[in-house]
A and B are shown apart, each in its own frame.
Chain A
């Protein structure tokens, strides 16, 4: 691997790690609400965050530009306030990966949280523990495996994010060319041997991720 390939690998790992941390924090909180609370519009909320799973990545990217672009309804006030726009930065790749990986986290964590026995939660309440303490000491530990499986899947998905990232972060060599984007560039300019190295690495890594995710999604307790 040459220096640009190393750069792409490092960037991909950095983007995927950050996106995964965000996905776990936001995804577990949302999954907790969806699994254990009853409120109006609950399934609508679930649908909204699951959309990126079924939408073409370019459509997700399009929406993200509409929201975070320099003229977007969040992007414009941010730009006029700070002079900074997320567009065509490596942070844009994090944002795209986060949005695309979030539904995987929510789905997996919600299923794990819903499988926690209601009686255990009630028992914790009768023993004097608040909802918050019960969540931290009973519900989350018992759903731990599903949450880890979701995190691993999210990381794998974030590593492989291409479509939305390309639209939001662009393809700037040495700045926003994550591995999937670098592979696209190399293959389209006929550099097959350089592509192969990354493709092989990607395939092997994805296999490992899937194996680990399966390991954790099998419940033993």
Chain B
């Protein structure tokens, strides 16, 4: 299982042109806001179609402009956690989670829901509305909702940015646990260097709609290929590359 992504898209004067591959691991897309990170996740989930390219999840071709394939978001087996979590305000936590269990019979839905509530330590909160939950509890409900269908991949769009430090640490632990339990590619967006370093098996660095470097966190932080990566990682070591990535072909082909 893994994700292979290659897409070009022009939208409102912005151009995304990126390609990368990840395996069955916790990968982090890292970069400033406006670099095309969210756009990438939306394309994988099927909420936005690339102009050209192809997106493959495991064995399934989700999008291919050459083959004219564009699977509807409903048919892509992907868990998506939105930046604002997008919990349905008129449903309780339990109803939100079960709503994610589309196509699963009611008994199994209940069973999985209870499992997830226990796994995320929010058992007993299933009858509360999202407005009655704390930030960390909402996160867990959103995660449980995204996972109840047992998707083939989990995408997270900066879900922890609004949380307090200690809850953020706890959520990082939960995310690691998810990757190990479900054994699926987990792709997280962040612009927080500490978070990337703490979580990533693999990092993909975006700048101005392009992949400027990809590799293990050590590679990214210890040997940044260009000034953009250095600025992003805020690493003040000895390495001082003066080359700029954007505008040169240096790391445009990194995978």
Contacts and interface: CB of A to CB of B under 8 A. Distances in A.
A138 B88 contact: yes
Contact of A122 (B86, B99, B100, B149): B86
B79 to A, nearest CB: 8
Secondary structure type dominating chain B contacts: loop
Interface residues of A, number: 17
Interface in B31-83: 45-47, 72-74, 76, 78-80, 82
Contact of B73 (A119, A125, A138, A221): A125
A124 B45 CA distance: 12
Contacts of B45: 122, 126
Interface residues of B, number: 24
A143 to B, nearest CB: 11
Contacts of B131: 221
Interface in A122-150: 122-130, 137-138, 141-142
Interface in A90-142: 117, 119-120, 122-130, 137-138, 141-142
B99 A126 contact: no
Interface centre among A120, A124, A128 (most CB of B within 10 A): A128
A123 B90 contact: no
A125 B131 CA distance: 22
A117 B78 CA distance: 21
Contacts of B88: 120, 123-124, 138, 142
B80 A123 contact: yes
A142 B86 CA distance: 13
B248 to A, nearest CB: 36
A120 B73 contact: no
A128 B82 contact: no
B86 A120 contact: yes
Contact of B99 (A117, A137, A142, A221): A137
Nearest to A131: B74
A141 B99 CA distance: 14
A128 B149 contact: yes
- Name which of A127, A129, A130 has the most chain B CB atoms within 10 A of its CB: A127
Which residue of B45, B74, B145, B149 has the most chain A CB atoms within 10 A of its CB atom?
B74
Interface of A: 117, 119-120, 122-130, 137-138, 141-142, 221
Q: Which A-B residue pairs are the 6 nearest by beta carbons?
A: A128-B102, A123-B86, A126-B80, A119-B86, A125-B73, A127-B100
Given A122-B80, A125-B47, 6 more contacts: A120-B88, A124-B88, A125-B72, A126-B73, A127-B146, A128-B103
11 contacts: A117-B86, A119-B82, A122-B80, A122-B86, A126-B45, A126-B47, A127-B102, A127-B145, A128-B74, A142-B89, A221-B131
